[in-house]
Structure 1
């Protein structure tokens, strides 16, 4: 197998990948309350295996307002700079984090 899944901002690719049996992660940029509402609708319609919230510091807000309705595992990505932040995100219900900072891997 060449690939097991995709991470994408494009909801149409989530649907296509699901039909192919791939693991799907829908990326959402939570810039404001309108993006939150749009993101909620995308997740309801597409039902990805997980959602990645960007920036990661917005993930607790997403969990508090949306997660309980959808029960989609949450990954936090972006603007995460130290281990304390990661631990706080885990305590607030984030399943995983994505970061380019090698010291945090």
Structure 2
């Protein structure tokens, strides 16, 4: 694995995933508030948070001891320039999620955690995605949809970046399937899955 995955926050992130294989996909302020007030997974992606509410929502996430990635592609008004990353740093965000290689690379340079989202629709799309991940070297890659992971497991593993499966993760069986095919976890907005622990999945 690339040496940049040995940063202290990376170790905290991967240690959390070792016990909590489910990362909460949080759409909107209300869902984010339920996440920060719960004892479920400590990992989440903040999406579709209005810019006016973003600082307060990030603050709640940090205060709750959670690790939150801000999806900059779905934050209205945030933009995709260096100023957006500076703003996120200023409000205490620890990580970003984006499909854009340039934003991942800039965020890495600023010391933010990074998650690159890729949509795999066919072989040519997979090839471009793998090339982008190889160049940007994010902390995590989010592969969508989840069911495609079994077809691209080998290629993703060869890139050397831990991956999460997302999209249509609706049951514990879906989580188990993703882990079986090499994912370190999944992303889902299904709140019933947020409490899952890796130990309980092994037991079942």
TM-score when normalising by structure 1 = 0.92
Deviation of 1:82 (Å)? 1.0
Task: Tell whether 2:89 aligns with 1:8.
Answer: no
Deviation of 1:60 (Å)? 2.5
SS at match of 2:179: helix
Q: Is the 8 A contact 2:165 2:183 kept in 1?
A: yes
Aligned match of 1:67: 156
TM-score when normalising by structure 2 = 0.49
Choose from 186, 197, 200 the match for 1:97.
186
Task: Tell whether 2:173 aligns with 1:84.
Answer: yes
Q: Is the 8 A contact 1:86 1:97 kept in 2?
A: yes
Aligned match of 1:53: 143
In 2, the alpha carbon distance for the partners of 1:34 and 1:78 equals: 20
Deviation of 1:68 (Å)? 3.4
In 1, the alpha carbon distance for the partners of 2:117 and 2:157 equals: 18
Deviation of 1:79 (Å)? 1.0
Unaligned runs of at least 5 residues, structure 2 = 1-90, 195-204
SS at match of 1:21: coil
Unaligned runs of at least 5 residues, structure 1 = none
* Larger Rg over CA atoms: 2
Aligned match of 2:112: 22
In 1, the alpha carbon distance for the partners of 2:168 and 2:121 equals: 13
Tell me the C-alpha RMSD between the 2 structures: 1.2
Q: Is the 8 A contact 1:7 1:25 kept in 2?
A: yes
